[in-house]
Amino acid sequence: MAERKKEISDQIIALAAMKAVLSTEGVSEMVDTGDTMSFNKLLGIESGLLKGIKITRQNEGLEVDVALNVRFGTPIPQTAWNIQENVKNKINAFTDTPVVKVDVHIAGVTE
């Protein structure tokens, strides 16, 4: 009998995605767009610890949207590519559900 892995919650996946984004060179901070999953929505508290991440489950796998600010002078196309790769690798390391799409939304530039 094949062992079935437990389904990992969207909150844990979002946390892993956030860590992957924040560890990417040039990323300044995550940005809450109002459409993203945050602990304040989950726990009913005013300040959110997890923001800027939206996880959507599709038949094919996971779609991840990230919203963030980058530091001034950061090459945005390369940074966006690095974010996509980091998020896919981080999530695929602990779940069997494939990441089929990572959309990167640059909200602004910080100093």
Q: Which domain range does residue 105 map to?
A: 10-110
CATH number at residue 74: 3.30.70.1350
Per-residue model confidence (pLDDT) at position 8: 83
Per-residue model confidence (pLDDT) at position 39: 47
CB atoms within 10 A of CB 50: 20
Q: To the nearest whole number, what is the mean pLDDT of the chain?
A: 85
Q: At what angle do helices 10-22 and 76-92 cross, to 10 degrees?
A: 140
Distances (CA, A) of 25 to 40, 64, 73: 27, 19, 11
Q: What pTM value is reported for the model? A: 0.82
Does any domain span residue 95? yes
Query: How many folded domains does the chain comprise?
Result: 1
pLDDT digits (tens, 9 = 90+) for 83-104: 999 999 999 998 989 999 999 9
Q: Are strands 62-71 and 99-110 parallel, antiparallel or unpaired?
A: parallel
Does any domain span residue 66? yes
Check: CB of residue 70 under 8 Å from CB of residue 109.
yes
